[in-house]
Structure 1
Amino acid sequence: MSLKLERGANFSLTKLVPNPTHFFVGLDWPTKPQSNEAFDIDGSCFLLSEQNRVRNNTDFIFYNQRQDSVQSVWLLEDVEQVQFSKGKTGFGVDLARIPAEISHVVFCLTIHNAEEKQQSFSMLDWLSLNLVEQETLTEIAAFRCEQELSKETAILCGELYRHNQEWKFKAIGQGFINGLGALAENFGVVLDNVAPNSEETPEDTNELVITKKKRRSPQEVIAEQMTLIQGKMKQLLPQIISSSTNGINESSTRLVLDRIFQDVLGYSIDEIKTEQKIQGRAADYVLAPDGRDTIVIEAKRAGTPLRQKQIFQATSYAAYSGIQWAILTNLTEWQFYKVSTVDKVDPHWVFTIDLNKGLDDENTYNLLLISKFGVVRKGLIEKVWLKRVCLKAETLIAAILNDEVISKIRLIIGKETGGQITNDEVKRAIEMDVLKI
């Protein structure tokens, strides 16, 4: 059950969540129904030392600098991830990566061009912060700041902080005047003084420009990544096709796979685990973006025909290690599965990438889904899987035979024909004559 916090309240995250690591922090706000104001509100985050100062400018995360130097905190970019954080904007946090010198991670909201638009947070009904465990999407705590603000244009919403070797969370709700610039300088960020529309760049590369750049939509970001993946795969495609045609041995197949994982799909060497074993089950590969085991891969020699039974080695490993996704591949064909362990270990086909058919938009998008870019954005793969579930025959049959749907069919038939039939008669006819069940 989520903790509902008052201003100033805190709790031990370490005690509440064993071995806490990955979280979403969502920031949200509404506009008053009677207000026609268009608010441009941004989330920002500061990684602070015990002196309540950033160590350098890389400890300031905002729209022009979307993550810190070690990727311990990052501004969420995808609509799906923001939705998971339960806010209009939000941050991902990996507590294990936060440097030891950092004692506070403060999450803030600011109004862009507030002075020019004569806006403040008093014009909003409330602001909220939600702390969500990233793996299970369970809300841990929530804080709502209501009708307690006046002329403030920047708000410290909440913070994660270290105390006696624990991670704790505190609801703050403290306001500042003069927006993001004043807030950043208060925490020791060195800002550039270039005018907003100037084409000059600061001589000191350690200075940050807080003039707002045009934001890319999630669709633009995905399109850019697809173009990048497509270009890199095209360079390897002749070698992949040749390897499949010539039936290279297993060792040579692995070498080509290693190049695909690194050069095309964007995984680093330490994120590609080989010959993993657990409880007698073995996996050829486990992809572990940011150190989290995410996809199990069963790799067959190039050109070997793929059969569904071959995926069971990978899915058995996945079941015992808590991994949800598995791939069966022979270089040219990549079968992607969801691993279910509800009643038994069972692989459910999600999609297939067939490189023999080239790099059309569908193949390229599916490559993006299994790339590091796609995997760390959990919502992208989940959306494809949910669509597959929605369109499965059993799902459609259950929907068609739903009492409400049957009733509507009966009403439509009666209106068009003038005949009188019962729901049971409609249902039996659909089962026997239409669905053949």
Structure 2
Amino acid sequence: MAIPIKVFERISAGLKKFQPILNSAKTRDVNESDTVVVITDMLSEVFGYDKYSEITTEHVIKKTFCDLAIKIDGKIKLLMEIKAIGLDLKDDHIKQAVDYGANAGIEWVILTNGMNWQIYRITFSKPIDKELVYEINFSNINPKNENHIEPIYYLCKEALGKSLLDEYHSQKQALSKYYVGQMILTETILDVIKRELKRLTPGVKIENEEIEEVLRSDIIKRDVLEGDKALDAKKKIQKAANTYLRSSSPVPKKENVASTNNESQLEKDLPDPEPAST
């Protein structure tokens, strides 16, 4: 991902400023309120959000309050649940953050203590599900390393406004072990494997079912093929295949039907031929 130069420079300069601030805050074991203050400044100076119009504090969600909400063009795009910098992020904190997002209908939530940032995407299924897309540890980031900067960039105003975080998630999802595992088991890929095996062993009869059995039992790990994530990947791959088949099927041209109807009507409108004179 190519990061705009001005954005890269802003992030890099912001990291150099805030890494010592975060380290000092952790050493002093500052409370949650002070941690929120530091993160609000980071969202402005590192991530590029306007502190007064795009960062909302204590956002109300069903009579409770989420610590911070990020707005773009007046619409909330991201919720943040913040803990004191000295606290380890635990499962009950994750549940709290995800519940806020689920109740507000917001897909993206961040759980952070300032130093560690966990970025979650919520799936509005039954039941509600979550996915830890990636984590950032600000103590380990090199401000000059573009690979270190890229995960931060996806959360910046410039990227979030263009849905680049969603694009990154889709790419990561497509390359996940669940998608690749299910893709290998499709008839298209099994046909390719069968063709290549027959090329290696001419005359040997090989069926797709036999190849699939070897893949399932000896090659692909069980956790790749079982569970909700594997099932979800299978459904999406099948849906994509069905969509492709429908789009590639020939469709009768409507103009031919219309033309035939017009010709029939024309024949009806023509006068009967006069009898030949004798």
**What is the aligned partner in structure 2 of residue 251 from structure 1?**
33
Structure 2 Cα separation of the partners of residues 312 and 281 of structure 1: 14
What is the CA-CA distance between 1:256 and the residue it aligns to? Answer: 0.9
Structure 1 Cα separation of the partners of residues 91 and 169 of structure 2: 18
* Aligned equivalent of 1:240, options 22, 47, 66: 22
What is the CA-CA distance between 1:314 and the residue it aligns to? Answer: 2.2
Structure 2 Cα separation of the partners of residues 335 and 308 of structure 1: 12
What is the CA-CA distance between 1:296 and the residue it aligns to? Answer: 0.6
The within-5 A match list for 1:1-400 is 219=2, 222-268=4-50, 269-359=52-142, 360-378=145-163, 380-400=164-184
What is the CA-CA distance between 1:275 and the residue it aligns to? Answer: 1.7
Corresponding letter in the other structure for 1:277: V
**What is the aligned partner in structure 2 of residue 8 from structure 1?**
none
Q: What's the TM-score once normalised by structure 1's chain length?
A: 0.47
**What is the aligned partner in structure 1 of residue 193 from structure 2?**
409
CA displacement 1:301-321 (0-9 Å, x = unmatched): 103222344222222222222
The runs of 5 or more residues in structure 1 that have no matched partner are: 1-217
Larger Rg: 2
What is the CA-CA distance between 1:427 and the residue it aligns to? Answer: 0.2
What is the CA-CA distance between 1:222 and the residue it aligns to? Answer: 1.9
Structure 1 Cα separation of the partners of residues 75 and 22 of structure 2: 28
What is the CA-CA distance between 1:381 and the residue it aligns to? Answer: 1.2
Structure 1 Cα separation of the partners of residues 207 and 87 of structure 2: 55
Structure 2 Cα separation of the partners of residues 309 and 432 of structure 1: 37
Structure 1 Cα separation of the partners of residues 5 and 135 of structure 2: 20
Which structure is higher in helix share? 2
Q: What's the TM-score once normalised by structure 2's chain length?
A: 0.73
More deviation, 246-255/419-428: 246-255
Answer yes or no: is the 8 Å Cα contact 2:19–2:139 preserved in 1: no
What is the CA-CA distance between 1:280 and the residue it aligns to? Answer: 4.2
Corresponding letter in the other structure for 2:210: E
Q: Give the secondary-structure state (helix, strand or coil) at the position aligned to 2:106.
A: coil
Which structure is higher in strand share? 1
Answer yes or no: is the 8 Å Cα contact 1:354–1:363 preserved in 2: no
CA displacement 1:383-418 (0-9 Å, x = unmatched): 101011102222111101101111111211221233
Q: Identity of counterpart residues, as a percentage?
A: 25
Equivalent residue pairs, number: 218
Runs of 4+ more than 6 Å apart: none
Answer yes or no: is the 8 Å Cα contact 2:58–2:67 preserved in 1: yes
Structure 1 Cα separation of the partners of residues 161 and 146 of structure 2: 21
**What is the aligned partner in structure 2 of residue 425 from structure 1?**
210
The runs of 5 or more residues in structure 2 that have no matched partner are: 223-278
CA displacement 1:310-349 (0-9 Å, x = unmatched): 2222222222222121111111111111111122222212
Answer yes or no: is the 8 Å Cα contact 1:285–1:296 preserved in 2: yes
